[in-house]
A = this chain, B = another copy of it.
Amino acid sequence: MTINVVKIGGNVIDSADALESFIKEFAQLPSPKVLVHGGGKLATAMSKKLGIETHMIDGRRVTDKETLDIVTMVYAGLVNKNIVAKLQREHCNSIGLCGADGNVIPAVRRSPVPIDFGYVGDIDAEQIDVMFIQNLLQKGITPVFCALTHDRAGDILNSNADSVTSAIAIALTRVGEVDLTFCMELPGVMRDTSDMASLISHVDADTYDALKQQGVINKGMIPKIDNAFAAVRQGVRKVIIKKADNLNRDIGTTIQ
């Protein structure tokens, strides 16, 4: 049985309507499945309400102690538990986790040199306790992960949600076939974002180089697609970029 690992980010989480519609789609997705969510914009909004400045370096959040408390509240509390409660309503039995729970995703706090990102953790797929996840899946329980990990020394760490997702998918290839879906704002990689017919249904190593040269894949998409190819090289069957609405439809870009 293929294990579906799905990641959602701000475009789904920040809108109550988009989240509702995603929850229904995800509940219908065949099991076994795993959900990983971000929540960065909500954390930024909460920081603002609490009068704490958000510092970003190269698009990554600097996580001082105050910010760590906020992301712990928002990701592991507000976002995670609301997703679980809504999945329960759809009869998708789920469990909300961070990497400290069951010691499932230990991480290494990033060196403060050259840039001190604070409480930020880098992870390694080999360190993930895949049997813990497999045990839940076998019981018909869907794990819902936020992108928080821990250092085994008592501190929660903030990790990149795309990296956590890939690492979980790669780790799960030890126990089964894994497909990895990143839900994005666009239906996939498109030559012209206003023309659905321009959706590129498949990207491989050769076409990727050409698409980068043509500028079709650029900026923020490049690390995401690099990340996808890395997952495929490490055993994930395919990575799919999709709009959340299309989760149960064969519309998206497959990276293989």
Contacts and interface: CB of A to CB of B under 8 A. Distances in A.
A55 B59 CA distance: 40
Contact of A78 (B50, B69, B101, B139): B69
Contacts of A75: 77
B88 A103 contact: yes
A22 to B, nearest CB: 13
Contacts of A96: 76, 98, 100-101
B155 A85 contact: yes
Contacts of A103: 88, 93
Interface stretch (A145-153, A159-167, A194-202, A247-255): A145-153
A186 B51 CA distance: 37
B86 A154 contact: yes
Contact of A82 (B50, B74, B86, B156): B156
A81 interface: yes
A76 B85 contact: no
Contacts of A155: 85
B84 A73 contact: no
A93 B155 CA distance: 14
Nearest to A154: B89
Interface in A41-93: 46, 49-50, 69, 72-78, 80-82, 84-86, 88-89, 93
A30 interface: no
A78 B103 CA distance: 17
27 contacts: A46-B73, A49-B50, A50-B50, A72-B82, A73-B73, A77-B77, A77-B78, A84-B98, A84-B101, A85-B100, A85-B150, A85-B151, A85-B155, A85-B156, A88-B100, A88-B150, A88-B154, A89-B152, A89-B154, A93-B102, A93-B103, A94-B101, A95-B97, A95-B101, A95-B102, A96-B101, A102-B141
Given A72-B78, A95-B101, 13 more contacts: A46-B73, A50-B50, A73-B74, A75-B77, A77-B80, A84-B100, A85-B151, A85-B155, A86-B154, A89-B152, A95-B102, A96-B101, A102-B141
Rank and list the top 6 A-B pairs by shortest CB-CB distance, nearest first.
A77-B77, A73-B73, A89-B154, A73-B77, A76-B77, A95-B101
